[in-house]
Structure 1
Amino acid sequence: MELMRSDTTLPCLMEPRLDNFKPTSDPLIQSLLFIRSLAIKLRLSQSCVATAQTYFHTFTINNSHLKYDNLLIAGACLFLSSKTLELTRPIDILCRKFYEERSEIRKILNPRLQVPPLSDSMLAGLKQSILQCEFAVLEALCFNVEIPLPYSFISSFVSNLELNVYQKQDLLKIANNFANDSFRVPIFLYKNAENVAAACLILASRYLSLGLEIAADQETVQAILEIYKSNINI
């Protein structure tokens, strides 16, 4: 894949679009989009999103997604990651935003659908479902909720480079965009965060034509490139 032209627009997760939800869409990809869009409504960080998406990948590898409501699992993953990173949102607020977001998706999939307002009894049931799914996610994680992320490695590497401030800003932004996109696939289940960070940095360096010498595992580089080659649309 050609990544050397500065006029090429990189796909990234910064602008999720609900209109990507279509009846024929991959339900797992839809769930990753849902995590991101729900996080925006809850004003949660990208680190929280990345952690939740890694939880979701871990859960789906250990469980058939056909047995579960994927969006409930996605919401539970986000709720758990917010607690892990000490950015907890009250479960009532999360459930209200969850219902709002899911209702928008249902209307996109079926424009004639009349979605009722969230009643107190519906809210209580949704809270119970989220908490049950959260426990199922914890079991899939073997209660190990700590997920190393690549962002600190990227920031540390860029800060030590002999580049001007604008080049550093561009490199940091593009490398972080690659890192954001890497959570579309379960790469963090078999590659460590530093490994992924190096791959994102070499790809960003190529994209910006900086010619940096960065030791990166080519399997990881190719795994990230496959996201764009296969047009995984989030």
Structure 2
Amino acid sequence: MAAFSANWRFNKADYINNTPSRRDGTSLTEERITRRVGMKFLLNVSWNLNIPQNTIATAATYYHRFFMLRSFKRHHKYEIAGACILLACKTEETMRKISQVSSSCAKFARKDLSPYVKDEGEIEHWSRTIKKKEPMIAATLCFDLAINKPYKVLLDFVKTLKGVEKNVLQNFASHAWAIINDSYLTPMCLFQKPETIASAAIYIAAQMMDLQLSINPSNGLLWWEITDCNVRELGICVQEILDSYRIPREEEMSPDVRENGSINPSGTVNDNLNREIINSGSTTPLMNHTTHVETRNGVHTPYDNPSPSITNGVTPAQDDEMEDGQIVEDEAANGKIEDDEMDLG
């Protein structure tokens, strides 16, 4: 695998063709499913512990980076997810005890949604596992644990918007915030800069609300120049996010998509997308150009949140992993921005 740069950007061709899991015989489609199932577990555990979204994003980034350097066949996705949560809590100074993380991991690993897991032996097993995995993950990540995330870029941009009613601004920011949240279900953070992901979320949210993005009158900058984003990279990122909302169940995939493991395997962007993004810097209202994104409570979340299963650290069959369990409802699932994370002034 080609060496990654100091800012941890990976070559997407390596993800498609040359991850450790791929070298161990796992197909791209299988890895994508396994990665997503592990992320659902990470989210369910985090929401259960009321962990802030900023810390969840850090844990998700650790998880995605780790599995670009290590194989899913050699490390269980749930164990790594649990250890990433604890490591992120320490990095972001989010106070959660290892006993809390272990108990929540045990709860969702066994699909037991009762308030407390009473099997102390199972909780102790998770505690030992997380203690063992956490330093290994930190070492694999070269102890480079500070993560730049798209949220600050989004909030800084929102503060530049003038002449927009505060409730509209809040709704727009919540839409974009939720889209950023959703992006962590995929390994997008490995290939795109935080500025690009934030800009893509801004663009999609603006389309959903028919919100006009214009040239900043104070400095004459186009909106994507304010976020320091390359328009071509922005177009690719927008398409990847929209594709992630349209991923069908594996059994409904065409043979070509099943083989390539992507709705858009060529990585090309809608021919008109870059031009439309450029035009969004004018006074023309943005319209939804490619797909209608349905919303729930104003924000769409693309995946259900099944409670995962695990049996003594043994990976269940793929079919079992894809079974739907009880959905965990949480404000984070709807992309709600905590009061201390957002101040529009």
Tell me which interval the TM-score lies in, with the shorter structure as reference length: 0.7 to 0.9
Contact 2:42–2:60 (CA under 8 A) maintained in structure 1: yes
Question: Aligned Cα RMSD in Å?
Answer: 2.2
1:38 aligned partner: 45
Aligned equivalent of 1:227, options 230, 241, 244: 244
Shift of 1:176: 0.3
Match of 1:86, SS state, is: coil
2:61 aligned partner: 54
Tell me, in whole angstroms, the C-alpha distance in 1 between the residues paired with 2:167 and 2:97: 39
After superposition, give the CA deviation of every residue in 1:64-108 in whole Å (9 maximum; x if it has no partner).
1111121111000111111111003111121112111212169xx
Shift of 1:136: 2.4
2:196 aligned partner: 195
Match of 2:245, SS state, is: helix
Give the TM-score normalised by the residue count of structure 1: 0.79
Contact 2:98–2:127 (CA under 8 A) maintained in structure 1: yes
Q: Which has the higher contact order (CA 8 A, sep 6+)?
A: 1
What percent of counterpart residues are identical? 25
Tell me, in whole angstroms, the C-alpha distance in 1 between the residues paired with 2:90 and 2:64: 18
2:287 aligned partner: none
Contact 1:62–1:140 (CA under 8 A) maintained in structure 2: yes
Match of 1:65, SS state, is: coil
Tell me, in whole angstroms, the C-alpha distance in 2 between the residues paired with 1:81 and 1:44: 10
Tell me, in whole angstroms, the C-alpha distance in 1 between the residues paired with 2:95 and 2:34: 26
1:97 aligned partner: 104
Shift of 1:154: 0.8
Contact 1:96–1:118 (CA under 8 A) maintained in structure 2: no
Higher helix share: 1
2:131 aligned partner: 131
1:142 aligned partner: 142
Q: Counterpart of 2:131 in structure 1: which amino acid? A: L
Contact 2:36–2:186 (CA under 8 A) maintained in structure 1: no
Shift of 1:130: 0.6
Give the TM-score normalised by the residue count of structure 2: 0.55
Q: Counterpart of 2:67 in structure 1: which amino acid? A: T
Shift of 1:26: 2.5
Contact 1:79–1:88 (CA under 8 A) maintained in structure 2: no
Tell me, in whole angstroms, the C-alpha distance in 2 between the residues paired with 1:69 and 1:58: 15
Tell me, in whole angstroms, the C-alpha distance in 1 between the residues paired with 2:69 and 2:106: 26
Gaps of 5+ in 2: 1-31, 215-222, 225-230, 249-301, 305-345
Shift of 1:117: 4.1
Gaps of 5+ in 1: 1-24, 107-115
Shift of 1:153: 1.2
1:28 aligned partner: 35
Contact 1:179–1:197 (CA under 8 A) maintained in structure 2: yes
Tell me, in whole angstroms, the C-alpha distance in 1 between the residues paired with 2:178 and 2:34: 23
Contact 1:155–1:172 (CA under 8 A) maintained in structure 2: yes
Q: Counterpart of 2:303 in structure 1: which amino acid? A: N
Q: Counterpart of 1:212 in structure 2: which amino acid? A: L
Q: Counterpart of 1:228 in structure 2: which amino acid? A: Y
Match of 2:111, SS state, is: helix
2:29 aligned partner: none
Q: Counterpart of 1:51 in structure 2: which amino acid? A: T
Tell me, in whole angstroms, the C-alpha distance in 1 between the residues paired with 2:99 and 2:122: 11
